[in-house]
Amino acid sequence: MTPAVRGQNSRRGTTTRARIGERRDTTAEARVDHPRAERVRERRDAERRDRDGAVRKRVAEQRLVRERTRDQPRRPERVGTDRAAVSGRATTAASTRTESGKRARTSAPVRVRADLVARGRRLVPKSPTGAKAAPFVVLVMTLLGAGLIATLWLSTAAAADSYQLEGLRNDISSLTDQNARLRRDVESREAAPRLADSARDLGLVPVDEVARLVVNPDGSHRLVGKPVPVPAPNTSPLAPPPGAEAPVAGARESDPPEAQTGRSPVENGDGRAGHRG
Amino acid sequence: MRGPRPADVGTNRARLVWARVALISVLVIVAGKLVQIQTFDHRRLAAAAERQQVLRTIEHADRGSILDDKGRVLAFSSDARVLYAVPKLIGDQVRQADSIKNKDVDAYKREIAAYLKSELGDAVDEQEVLRKLLGNGTYVTLTGQIEPGKAEKIRAKYPVIGSEYKAARYYPGESVAANIIGYAHWRHDNKRITGLVGLESSRDELLAGSNGERVAGSARGSDMFIPGTDRVVEPAVNGSDLHLTIDADMQYAVQNMVADYATRAGARSAGVVVLDASTAQVRAMANNVTFDPTRFGESTPESRANPAVSTPFEPGSVNKIVTAAAGIEYGLVKPETVLSVPGNIKIADRVIRDAWNHGRIDMTFTGVLAQSSNVGTLMVAQKIGEERYAEFLDRFGLGTKTEVGLPGESAGVVPPRSKWSGSTFANLPIGQGLSMTVLQMAGMYQAIANDGVRIPPRVIKATVDPEGVLTPEPTPPGVRVISPQTAKTVRDMLRSVVQNAPGQVGTGPQAAVEGYQVSGKTGTAQQIDKECGCYSDSKYWITFAGVFPADKPRYVIAIVLDAPSGGNRESRSAAPLFHDIASYLGQRFHVPLSQEDSPVQALTIP
């Protein structure tokens, strides 16, 4: 029988392993009491005790190194309990059945391949497997997860911000409208026609002739112009009766106009505002 | 060595050939189509694709404002919306929308009309809106311009109503300076506010700026666009602001005074220009008739014109300032030089009389001006001579445009020296036979107000670009007309025009203002009677121009009345209007009183 079958037996961990001579298959190796067999047996015990697969891993690596350094087919050895064999139990069983027929006419390289296949070994160097691979997988999964979360969070934030943005835009637009409306209002009220109307409504009257008091340097004053009461407008009920006003005083220093004391006449109005009411 | 070909191999080979031919022809067809699409139809297809994919909207530029000398706004723009609807589609949209409970289309339209009325109040007529909605139009505008905020609110409630951008132009001063500012309105074809009259029109390019463009990826050629794809391809460039030299309050007061005076005088038209004495900036320019830009539809072409710069007239005796200036400048006469003035004078084939009949009297040159003696003026003009007189007319800016900055300006008419006949020189010194605008007339008197340097008047002070950078308009170069001493002498002489001493009365004592020295000149020019082609005896241009105050000039005021017919004080002279305007200026702008009153000057020697 093939070593693979043997491997199966040994993997099951049956007591057959311990018993020499009671093996089912009858390979030459089994019958020979080889010092190597001794080593194999020891190794098998170690493997059986080995729980975390470190021994198995070491054994498999040693085998791989040996294979690479040799260039001729070895005698079929007993199958090691490497991971490929463990995982590929079914396939190796299948392949051994097919390979057994082929063994008779294989040439040397083919036999190597058959050996490798029989041992359940892959033809390419191993990739990280088992415990060594787990961190990498976790890392990749973590990265993907983080990316996904980040994307979700960003788009949620963007959506939330866009609501806020919309709200602010609406605020801006309504405030702009209000601003424009107020500006229109102010400009129209500030303009001369509306001012004149407002002044008229307040009872103010435009003045034609203005009399002025000129203050001389020595403090005395003289009257320039003739104070004439302004005729009251007919419509305004608040207008003071004619003739009751004091003359408007637009006192003036001899030099700059800014030194004028007294009330300066507003456009179309004068101190008569004080008489209202 | 091949034997005869078996029959099946031969047909095989033929089939191969035909297959090859077929494949090659397909290839050729495809290649040809490719060439056609890529080279010949490329532009058309690219344009069609762009129409489908790209939505182009206009980025509207804000129009610049127009402000007065003190920064008060006379014209400005604001965004607005116009609501429209497509009544045919409203029915479909109503039926499709789930949010509308009552699927009765007419009731829905009534609801819309009622809501518009409640939101917009007087700006909209509910019945009119309802009529439009119930009609069958493809596109109806439902409102005039409304605020963007209100438009958004209405659209949020009734998405079937569309809103379109429109800019609105406001004139807070209404008719104040309307003859200068003009009028601008929204033009649908330009998609911007465009000027129609006045500065809004002549400086339209500066005020308007230029619209930009925004593109966005659109969904299959519809109105919706893919969010996030819009970008501004060309930013809008806002318009620049115009700062005028006009003082809005003065303009308002002068406009009212001139309109009032023209009505009382029964004048066909009247115009006033007030210049700043030292800078020749136009502080006020008013005609008796103007329009209200806020009621543009009611205006007539006459009311929209600006005769103050566009319509020249014969100035009459106001032009005697040229003779006075030249006479003093060339040392031919002095203010106190006594002339023996007859009642008339013959020049070439013309006999010129004075306005009042008199024999030979002794008048000072000051008196010749104060009493506006034509004969005395012509005597001095003869001494000046035609060449020098023509040159002085030119120096005073007559016959040339002032380039004030307003559209439609007239240069007036001065007959060229080469075309003068003998009688030309009999007319020009007394202000007939030449024409000028009231702006040019003010410009003449600005020369004597500014110590002999005449500066062409300007109405635009500065422009402010969209970034806020103020660029003052360049000051025009002054023209040295007369020496400063001559200017002062002439100014002092002309104080006698408003003199009212017993026996020494000038022609314009009504122009005097208590407390101030005033220089000025009255004028009465005959208008051409079209029927006889001669000067009329009944229609006159009544003019007045003066400097206020005469001792420290601040303002130059020029007035013209066209054919006043009232038969009253106002129709005979423009001096009272000068008094009103000068008195207002003295109060409003706190012009200091003159230190002394004008001295009484001798006009006639008894």
pLDDT tens, residue by residue, B104-122: 778 888 888 889 888 888 8
**Contact call for residues B181 and B405 (beta carbons, < 8 A):** no
pLDDT score, position A120: 56
pLDDT score, position B477: 95
User: Each residue of B382-411: pLDDT tens digit?
Assistant: 999 999 999 999 999 999 999 999 999 999
CA distance B455 to B362: 37
Higher pLDDT residue, B33 or A80?
A: B33
At residue B482, what is the residue type?
Answer: I
Instruction: Kindly indicate the confidence band of residue B491, based on its pLDDT and cuts at 50, 70 and 90.
Output: very high
CB atoms near residue B44 (< 10 Å): 10
Instruction: Kindly indicate the confidence band of residue A269, based on its pLDDT and cuts at 50, 70 and 90.
Output: very low
For range A256-268, the mean pLDDT? 34
pLDDT score, position A72: 57
For range B250-255, the mean pLDDT? 96
- Is B78 designated active site? no
CA distance B272 to A73: 125
Structure tokens at B170: 């406001």
Inter-chain residue contact B592 with A255, CB threshold 8 Å:
yes
CA distance B462 to B468: 12
Exposure string over A13-25, b if 16+ CB within 10 A, otherwise e: eeeebeeeeebee
Is the per-residue pLDDT at B482 higher than 70?
yes
Name the residue facing B592 among A193, A252, A264 (closest C-beta).
A252
Catalytic residue among B77, B163, B269, B317: B317
For range A140-148, the mean pLDDT? 96
pLDDT score, position B101: 63
Tokens 């801006």 -> residue: A172
Average pLDDT, rounded, for chain A = 65
A224, A253, A254, A263: best to mutate for the B interface, most B CBs within 10 A: A224
Is the per-residue pLDDT at A28 higher than 50?
no
Structure tokens at B104: 């009765």
**Contact call for residues B310 and B437 (beta carbons, < 8 A):** yes
Determine the 3-state secondary structure of B243 from DSSP. strand
**Contact call for residues B109 and B90 (beta carbons, < 8 A):** yes
CB atoms near residue B216 (< 10 Å): 18
B285: enclosing H helix or E strand: strand B282-287
Closest by Cα among B335, B327, B362, B381 to B492: B335
For range A80-90, the mean pLDDT? 46
Query: Which residues pair with residue A222 across a beta bridge?
Result: A214
Structure tokens at B120: 């917009």
CA–centroid distance for B326 within its chain: 35
Threshold 0.80, pTM exceeds? no
**Contact call for residues B232 and B58 (beta carbons, < 8 A):** no
CA–centroid distance for B154 within its chain: 39
CB neighbour class for B126 (10 Å; exposed up to 12, middle 13-18, buried from 19): middle
pLDDT score, position B511: 96
Inter-chain residue contact A178 with B172, CB threshold 8 Å:
no
Higher pLDDT residue, B240 or A191?
A: B240
Closest by Cα among B515, B507, B324, B296 to A210: B515
Preceding peptide of B484 cis, ω within 30°: no
Chain B residues inside the 8 Å CB shell of A210: 583, 586-587
The CA distance from B234 to the nearest CA of chain A, in Å, is 22
Preceding peptide of B549 cis, ω within 30°: yes
Whether complex ipTM tops 0.85: no
User: Each residue of B503-535: pLDDT tens digit?
Assistant: 899 999 999 999 999 999 999 999 998 888 888
pLDDT score, position B221: 57
Percent of chain B with pLDDT over 90: 71
The CA distance from A230 to the nearest CA of chain B, in Å, is 15
Higher pLDDT residue, A154 or B156?
A: A154
Tally of residues, chain B: 606
Angstrom distances, CA of residue B337 to CA of B319, B366, B558, B602: 20, 8, 28, 11
Report residue B548: phi and psi, to 5°: -135, 125
CA distance A177 to B150: 9
Instruction: Please report which residue ranges of B385-533 form alpha helices under DSSP H.
Output: 386-395, 424-427, 438-449, 484-494
Name the residue facing A264 among B79, B590, B593 (closest C-beta).
B590
The pairing of beta strand B361-364 with beta strand B604-605: antiparallel
Higher pLDDT residue, A203 or B26?
A: B26
Name the residue facing A184 among B72, B78, B253 (closest C-beta).
B78
CB atoms near residue B333 (< 10 Å): 23
CA–centroid distance for A143 within its chain: 14
pLDDT score, position B480: 97
CA distance B440 to B479: 14
The CA distance from B375 to the nearest CA of chain A, in Å, is 37
Contacts of B432 (CB under 8 A, 6+ apart): B314, B316, B525, B526, B535
Average pLDDT, rounded, for chain B = 91
Inter-chain residue contact B148 with A176, CB threshold 8 Å:
yes
Percent of chain A with pLDDT over 90: 11
Percent of chain B with pLDDT over 70: 96
- Say which DSSP state B266 is in: T
Name the residue facing B147 among A177, A212, A258 (closest C-beta).
A177
User: Each residue of A239-261: pLDDT tens digit?
Assistant: 444 443 433 333 333 333 333 33
- Among chain A residues, CA nearest to B256: A193
pLDDT score, position B132: 86
Determine the 3-state secondary structure of A17 from DSSP. helix
Inter-chain residue contact B591 with A257, CB threshold 8 Å:
yes
